[in-house]
Amino acid sequence: FDCNIDIREIDEMIEETAEALTGASSVKAGYFEGKSYPNGFEIAENALVQEYGTMEHGGFIPPRPFLSNAMKNERKWETILHAELDKGRNLSQALARVGEEMRNDIIRSIDSNLPPPNAEGTAKDKGSSHTLIDTGAMKRATSYEVEK
């Protein structure tokens, strides 16, 4: 039995794998520090208030779990990651593609007009009965970050 192994091919495979895996380790989507409404209220804080509800900030705000709703797409995100890697993308590129989809799923969740409906006074003040959208600032601030 005779077996010849070309070490150069193995070295090349290891180098390609290391290249694909370096640079990024994870992706997160949602709201990050530093983005505020004109009144100074942090958009990330408002996202938490909307997700879980509160008795603070001027009265009862019921939970509208738009982030949890978007998380239901976790398997889809995993499929996208594998598909992007199978296409030859490096990990940073694949995670960026997943981040874009995560961001889009959060925005779709905001657009879905999650119950419960706005209170009559809130709808009147906003000029709209659509939940989670007033000025559109939270929707526009939805983003993702690929972490190293």
pLDDT value at residue 3: 58
Is the distance from CB of 24 to CB of 93 less than 8 angstroms? no
CA distances from 35 to 45, 93, 142, 144, 146 (A): 10, 25, 10, 13, 18
Backbone angles phi, psi at 146, to 5 degrees: -90, 125
Q: What is the pLDDT of residue 72?
A: 97
Q: Where are the alpha helices (DSSP H) in 42-143?
A: 43-52, 66-71, 74-86, 91-111, 120-126, 137-141
Q: What is the pLDDT of residues 15-73, one digit of tens each?
A: 666 555 556 789 999 999 999 999 999 999 999 999 999 987 667 899 999 999 999 99
Model pLDDT for residues 83-134, shown as the tens digit of each residue:
999 999 999 999 999 999 999 999 999 999 999 999 999 999 999 999 999 9
14 or 104: which leads in pLDDT: 104
A 10 A CB-CB count for 91 gives 20
What pLDDT, on the 0 to 100 scale, is given for residue 127?
A: 93
Residue 8 has pLDDT above 80, yes or no: no
